[in-house]
Structure 1
């Protein structure tokens, strides 16, 4: 009998890989170093491809989030720079299309679908050895397990990535984001909208959410920030000051948010790899493609990784090193171009909006307001990419692939 596939890390990528692999008939274990699976961050959006993937994995996606229509707006004039419209049939099929939600809700839904005994907490890996016929994992307590396949879904500081490809410095975006959520519904805000606005210096955004069946809003402000500089002492007060030029509804939403529902992140990623897999080991999620929130797709790509892996491995004889390596090579071929494009686009957008020289900002804003550049790149291209991804997933589900 083949030993279980091992997944390192219990974030969205790790849980998605485990759920999808279980759905296609493989035995799997998720090893998590913390005492419990815990949500990192609070605000989240999902597009239709990960919603479909979750549904096929057995996750309850009913009322998972609030359907949102997306737009990019000039914060000073209200001019719509880009309008994001998914096809009506996609919106109808996938819970309203693009949805706003809270990250802990996603964790709860995925954990509820997880079979008993799959997740093993308090397991820190200290050694990885691919000996050809399998991979031996050594844990901090000295125990060892053997697995036919190791999936490193252990985040931006991935032990598995470092083992495969060596340590590499993180790429500083020199940006910080402060975000929060509230169940207050100020009259100035509009439900079922996701609005992204920019002043000359700051991005301010909000979207509606569903949280355990209750309506609310999430918001965030993003600005240039020296990563060596300490964060603001009072996040809510700093967010309010940063959002002053935006006015309502953004300032109303921030004012309605309690301090405990406010968080800060310094934005970093790693330059994309040209190869994820080697032998019987591969990567998924942030371990493979950590990305800025400018992509608005980090969790969605992570879920897609697990889905793609499961489809490719469903009929693979895990005892065959040749067959496993061949499946992982196709996984790299399918996933790396898409995720690399998202990571790089997010990085470039962050630089263009927050680090472009002062003298070039009027020209940038003129181009965004007076040409169809952003509409073409974001308003038209992004929905088409979503449709293309759904088509690439095919008619067959995980259950009948």
Structure 2
């Protein structure tokens, strides 16, 4: 059977899966996205995106107008002293509508779903098995159906069955942290507008950021603390969050108090240790299936969207009947992405350790260093903008206009 005549198959309709589909459509390939749930649904409410994924979304045809609030990011101590100022170059801010975009996660899903052509997304389709037979991949579904595809993209999350098929069991790595977050569109709380304020006291991170949702201004917030992975969640999430937020300056306590209980969620923080490879034959990974990341990176969804961009860029113009060409394209896709995402995953893991698992006697010394040296400014305030600019440069002009090979 000539599987090159069949659509590329993407498993999972999260940001990675939808971005892969949109990017590949832009690259000229037919695509089908299989989602095991009855509908594509956002996993949570709060989200922020840096300029590279905004550029990717724009290139993929997603409407990014008024998608979120453009924000300037600072790290502060519990008294409000700035420890790091993330200074995105002005030309990047102007071109991509802000340095850090605060948004409502379901809004991003709606925009990406709206950009998908009819018939691309197929829900309620649970895959039970797969086989790469050299000239294509056979997918088997719970209802007994089998379909052929020239390329399979596993964008099926941290518990990815595609990753397990390729590389065997990959245990999740608990950080022994949890995050409680929420959002409010209550405009009576006085705040600094268009900012992300990441504040740390001795044991807890308290953060708030401006958002926009369907034309309305609001805020999202979260508190993050050490919490054993096997410990039950607090009985009352909002009450627990209010107690943690009380240790921070205004307006964080007021924003938490203005939030309805139904708009509060909790996530235990886990990742997977970075993988040495994402691809094997005609199958590859994207998003959390490849590089599940702690929220400390503030880049999990953003990296997932960029995966779709770079995957499409590498497969643009490739004859899907040519196994060698497909295999090379998938290796070319993963080769620069693995070190980039590994650095983000490991950096987030280390930051969680530094801020939440330092021994109590060392915390005053840690905070003195962060308050009185440029360490955090260099590690976060200056390095992040350099990486963002480098990523934008690596993306080239678009999916069909990659950066010249000699400049890679």
- 1:39 corresponds in structure 2 to 42
* 1:113 matches 2:115: yes
- 1:200 corresponds in structure 2 to 202
- 2:191 corresponds in structure 1 to 189
Aligned partner of 1:15 among 15, 18, 42: 18
Deviations 1:300-351 (A, max 9, x none): 0000000000000001110011000101111111110000000000000001
Which structure 1 residue ranges, 5 or more long, are not aligned? none
C-alpha distance in 2, partners of 1:277/1:228? 32
Per the TM alignment, residue 399 of structure 1 is displaced from its structure 2 partner at its CA by 4.8
* 1:67 matches 2:70: yes
- 1:338 corresponds in structure 2 to 340
- 1:398 corresponds in structure 2 to 399
SS state of the match for residue 363, structure 1? helix
C-alpha distance in 1, partners of 2:296/2:141? 36
- 2:232 corresponds in structure 1 to 230
Contact 1:45/1:99 (<8 A) preserved: yes
Contact 2:80/2:249 (<8 A) preserved: no
* 1:319 matches 2:311: no
Contact 1:56/1:399 (<8 A) preserved: no
Per the TM alignment, residue 106 of structure 1 is displaced from its structure 2 partner at its CA by 0.3
Deviations 1:46-103 (A, max 9, x none): 011100100010000011110100000011x221000011111111100123110011
Per the TM alignment, residue 400 of structure 1 is displaced from its structure 2 partner at its CA by 5.0
SS state of the match for residue 274, structure 1? coil
* 1:148 matches 2:150: yes
- 1:370 corresponds in structure 2 to 372
Output aligned runs, 1:1-400, within 5 Å: 2-75=5-78, 77-395=79-397, 397-399=398-400
Count residues in correspondence: 399
C-alpha distance in 2, partners of 1:187/1:238? 20
Contact 1:186/1:252 (<8 A) preserved: no
C-alpha distance in 2, partners of 1:82/1:97? 15
Deviations 1:209-251 (A, max 9, x none): 0000100000000000012111111111100001111031000
Deviations 1:274-309 (A, max 9, x none): 100000000000000000000000000000000000
C-alpha distance in 2, partners of 1:372/1:114? 45
Q: What TM-score results when the alignment is normalised by the length of structure 2?
A: 0.97
SS state of the match for residue 21, structure 2? helix
Contact 1:46/1:99 (<8 A) preserved: yes
CA RMSD in angstroms, aligned pairs only: 0.9
Contact 2:313/2:400 (<8 A) preserved: no
Per the TM alignment, residue 168 of structure 1 is displaced from its structure 2 partner at its CA by 2.0
